[in-house]
A and B are shown apart, each in its own frame.
Chain A
Amino acid sequence: MSKILLPHDDKEHTLSPEVPADKTRETETEEEELRLRRPSLGDWLDLRLGWYGFVRKNLDEPMPAGVGWWQTLGNLLLTLLMFQFITGFALAMYYTPSTVGAHASVKHITYEVTLGSFVRGLHVWGSTIIVIAVVLHTLRVFFWGSYKKPRELTWVVGVLIFQVILGFSFTGYLLPWDQKAYWATVVGTNIAGTIPVIGDDLILLVRGGPEVGALTLTRFFSLHVMFLPAMLMGLMGLHLYLVRKHHIAGPVNPQKGPPVAFYPNQLFKDAIVLLFGVGLVIYLAIGFPPALEAIADPTGTDFSPRPEWYFLGLYELLKIMPAGYEIVATAIIPGLVTIGMFALPWLDRSKSRHPAKRQWIIYTGTAVILMIGLMTLKGILETPPEHKAPPVVGATQAPSSMREVAPKSLPAEGKQP
């Protein structure tokens, strides 16, 4: 005999084909009686899937008093990552991961495919907003001390997700195979070469060869569309499971009042934030369509490589490191920050989650965050203007020239009545 919970009904019902409901308990309203005897499709499915219970459990998820807007970022991330998955799946239908085809196929996507510039824009801007959202989400958890017992593993899994997202950025950046992509990857992969002893082999392994070329592109593509998504899904599943298991930590100073159900108040806040977050991505995709620079040219000497903006902090750090100490910037500092993040729940031993009660961790964390922020800002300010508006195949000139070419390259078929 299985028990289910019907939505919007607090009582438990027994629903079993063998035992009529009226024999097991007092008859309730006639309407309900009828419903249980002739289950709707929803009831039928629920008997097999336990769907109502699942939905119900999630809508009723208790939120400690005092949660609010800061707790909406996780949902925003989840949604934006889904969007990336969907736009990425669509882009992969037109994309070719080869040195011969990559640039041409991205050009084709951007200027010829219906809504191509928009869908690519969603993917490109989505990645930027995701980085911002994941940073904010992490900062919230850090300052609220929400990683404390029993939520240590939720935090650790979150840090892993953070790393996977950066991996997505790094591998995705190369795929258009334009100058920006190529040179950022040359420099980025050379970073692996600064590691003593294994550096040279590591470069070969990351690039698939001594130079950034066809094998680098296929490697990055494979990581970007197979390995990282699989990792991300597993980690996100685990993260959500843990969040549900231990519930949300709530404000630093526990507030009076009973827990509130997730639905409707918090869900509504989530929806508002999603509206703005997704709206922002759509606005950016339309207002600032992604450009495509000239095709990757290993000989070009007139190009100043720059990484994506959120790696600019690291890039600036490399500038100020004196000769011979680049490993400090490439491996030691990022490595320490990463280890520090993983170990945070164990570094911070205080029982209290209140910032005033765990000062050294708050000060250290704030210092690190400020350093990263300042370095990033310095990098952004020092970006030469021509890279703010990419020059070669700008969104303004190329479409018109592409439009002239397109009919010629698409003969007969396209023109038939």
Chain B
Amino acid sequence: MSHNNSNPQDDTVKNKERRKFLGIAVGVINIALIGAIVGPVLGFVASPLKRRKKGEWVAVLDDSHLAPGDVKDVSFTMRIRDGFQDVDRQYTVFLRKSDDGVVCIDPACTHLGCRVKYQSDQHRFLCPCHGGVFNQDGDVVSGPPPRPLDKHPVKVEGGKIWIYKEV
């Protein structure tokens, strides 16, 4: 490096330009470095966005065990992938047999996801969190929930009630 160029006092046009160029180059390199580390890490952290739900039919109850007009909660186990591990996760759903057949109601409150309880004496679902109330069909009666309880597809085959559950 010549003496002239390294002298900060040197105000020649050439030196000014050179300093400006080097400054921009350092800036560009720094941005590249930040991108090189932040980009991959963001992609890594955002990996769950790629996850797609998979569904499965599960037999949850003998059809004969559900009387017309009844609401019953049934638990069943599904093998799911939870992070790095395969686990048996228990789920609970409500089954209700009406004139139109069997409906399967998901217990997750549509407000913020607390588990609703069924009150058989009042024929309604009650959410313990913010007091959401749903009727037997899962429609909102009162409280903050914005939509009816979610339903899962149901079929009756071979004397068993099957539901289609996405996980």
Chain A residue contacts of B73, Cβ below 8 A: 301
Chain A, interface residues (CB within 8 Å), range: 35 or more
- The reply on B159 being an interface residue by CB < 8 A is no
CB-based nearest A residue for B47:
A208
CB–CB A323/B107 < 8 A:
no
**Provided the pairs A213-B82, A299-B75 are in contact, do residues A187 and B51 lie with their beta carbons within 8 angstroms?**
no
Partner of A323, one of B48, B75, B113, B144: B144
Mark each residue of chain A from 207 to 219: 1 if its CB lies under 8 Å from any CB of chain B, else 0: 1111101110010
Contact A318 to B82, CB < 8 A, known contacts A209-B48, A299-B75, A299-B91: no
Cβ-defined partner of B113 (8 Å) among A190, A297, A315, A322:
A190
Rounded to whole angstroms, the CA-CA distance of A304 and B113 in the bound complex is: 12
Q: Mark B125-148, 1 if CB is under 8 A from A, else 0.
A: 000111100000000100111100
Q: Closest A-chain residue to B117, C-beta based?
A: A301
Closest residue of A by beta carbon distance from B107: A301
A323 with B145: CB separation less than 8 A: yes
CB-based contact A207/B48 at 8 Å: yes
For residue B111, CB closer than 8 A to chain A, the reply is: yes
Residue A362, interface by CB 8 Å: no
CA of A75 to CA of B116, assembled, Å: 46
Which single member of B53, B117, B144 contacts A321 (CB below 8 Å)? B144
Q: Please, how many angstroms separate the alpha-carbon atoms of A315 and B107 in the complex? A: 20
Evaluate contact between A299 and B92: CB separation under 8 angstroms.
yes
**A218 cross-chain contacts in B, Cβ below 8 A:** 83
A188 nearest in chain B by CB position: B112
Q: What residues of A have a CB within 8 angstroms of the CB of B45 in the complex?
A: 205
- Does residue B9 face the partner (Cβ distance < 8 Å to A)? no
Query: Does B87 lie at the interface of the complex (its beta carbon under 8 Å from any beta carbon of A)?
Result: yes
A311 and B115 CA atoms in complex are apart in Å by 20
Interface check A99, CB cutoff 8 A: yes
Contact of B140 among A183, A304, A323 (CB under 8 A): A323
Q: Quick check: A301 and B115 within 8 Å, CB to CB?
A: yes
Main secondary structure of the interface of A (DSSP, over half): loop
| A191 lies within 8 A of chain B by Cβ | yes
Chain B: interface size category: 35 or more
Instruction: Kindly report which residue of chain A lies nearest to residue B91, judged by CB atoms.
Output: A299
Known interface pairs A301-B117, A319-B131. Does A205 touch B48 (Cβ–Cβ under 8 Å)? Answer: yes
* Interfacial chain B residues near A300, Cβ < 8 Å: 115
Given A305-B114, A326-B111, A326-B144, check contact A205 B83 (CB 8 Å). no
A324–B132 alpha-carbon span in the complex (Å): 13
Nearest residue (CB) in B for A324 is B146
Q: Are B130 and A319 in contact (CB under 8 A)?
A: yes
> Does B167 belong to the interface (CB within 8 Å)?
yes
Tell me the nearest residue of chain A to B140, going by C-beta.
A323
Q: Report how far A315 CA is from B127 CA in the complex, Å.
A: 14
Q: Is the CB of A99 within 8 A of B144?
A: no
Interchain CB contact under 8 A, A214 and B84 = yes
Bound CA–CA A191/B112 (angstroms): 7
Q: Is the pair A326, B146 in contact by a Cβ cutoff of 8 Å?
A: yes
**Closest Cβ neighbor of A330 among chain B residues:** B112
B90 interface residue per 8 A CB criterion: yes
**A186 CB to nearest B CB, Å:** 5
Give B122 Cβ to nearest chain A Cβ, in Å.
16
Shortest A84–chain B CB gap in Å is 25
When chains A and B are docked, how far (Å) is the Cα of A209 from the Cα of B52? 9
Interface residues of A in 181-202 (CB under 8 A from B): 183, 186-187, 190-191, 194, 201
What is the minimal beta-carbon distance from B139 to any residue of chain A, in angstroms?
12
In angstroms, Cα B61 to Cα A128, docked, is: 46
Residue of B82, B92, B117 contacting most chain A CB atoms (<10 Å): B82
Chain B: CB-nearest residue to A186: B113
B19 touches A (CB below 8 Å): no
Residues in A whose Cβ lies below 8 Å from that of B53: 210
Contact indicator A187/B48 (Cβ below 8 Å): no
A-B interface, 4 closest residue pairs, ranked by CB to CB distance from nearest = A214-B83, A304-B128, A319-B130, A190-B112
| Known contacts A297-B90, A299-B90, A323-B146, then 20 further A-B pairs from the complex at CB < 8 Å, ordered by chain A residue | A99-B82, A183-B114, A201-B49, A205-B46, A205-B49, A208-B48, A210-B51, A211-B82, A213-B82, A214-B84, A214-B85, A215-B48, A299-B92, A300-B115, A301-B92, A302-B117, A303-B115, A322-B144, A326-B111, A326-B112
Interchain Cβ contacts under 8 Å between A and B, 28 examples: A186-B112, A187-B113, A187-B114, A204-B48, A205-B45, A208-B83, A210-B51, A210-B53, A210-B167, A211-B82, A218-B83, A298-B90, A298-B91, A299-B90, A299-B91, A300-B115, A301-B115, A301-B117, A302-B117, A318-B111, A318-B112, A318-B144, A319-B144, A321-B144, A323-B140, A323-B144, A326-B112, A326-B146
